[in-house]
Amino acid sequence: MKRSSREQVLDAVADSVRAVGVRRTTMAEVARRAGLSRSTLYTHFADVDQATAALLTRELIHLLSTSGDDDGDASSTRGRLVARAVRLAAAVPDDPLIGRILELDGHLLVPYLVQRLGSSQRAILDTVTDLVAAGQDDGSIRTGDPSVIAFSTFLVVQSFVISARIAEAEHGREAALGELEHILNGALAPTTTEVAPS
């Protein structure tokens, strides 16, 4: 199946970013790699930064979708949510494209950490909110506003993703992910006064 010109552009941006980083990627280089005219590029994206943001969204949503492929032995919604969050926290820093951006152009992510949420972050939040609500229904997740609980969960996982290399250097990958699992289970579990529905 032929890929759309927009997907061709994103593929070309990905190739260039992996090769030289975001700062050295130009629209002319993207056009060359995509085999498209620059005018076609500009019908999709105003500049490299906008194209890179769209590329990151595509990559993160793909990782989010694949993180739900195997819930292991998780028998509750909380177990499935925690397992999926830990898998995502492990996968994102290892992704070749995202890893390259973190290595060479980490400053590009700062606005999405301190100023506003991006579309990929909102997609993740929507998924987590749905899982929290389902977990409240089956009694495996504590009561409270699902959107607030989901947002707090998202922030915890995001901090582990952004600091993955530091955590690995200080304590090792498995220890850090194990602690993330412990934190999430503790934060999401019903309190002792909450009774699971029969």
Do 92 and 141 lie in one domain? The reply is yes
Percent of the chain at pLDDT > 70 equals: 93
Residue 197 lies in a domain: no
82 CB-contact burial (10 Å; exposed 0-12 / middle 13-18 / buried 19+): buried
Residue 118 lies in a domain: yes
How confident is the model at residue 198, as a pLDDT?
Answer: 44
Q: Is the pTM of this model over 0.85?
A: no
Residue 193 lies in a domain: no
Number of helical H runs and strand E runs in the chain? 11, 0
Do 40 and 115 lie in one domain? The reply is no
- What band does 72 get if pLDDT is binned at 50, 70 and 90? low
Residue numbers of the domain that contains 100: 58-188
Q: HSE, CB side, 13 Å, CA atoms: give it for residue 93.
A: 18
- What band does 73 get if pLDDT is binned at 50, 70 and 90? low
What's the number of domains the chain is made of? 2
Contacts of 32 (CB under 8 A, 6+ apart): 12
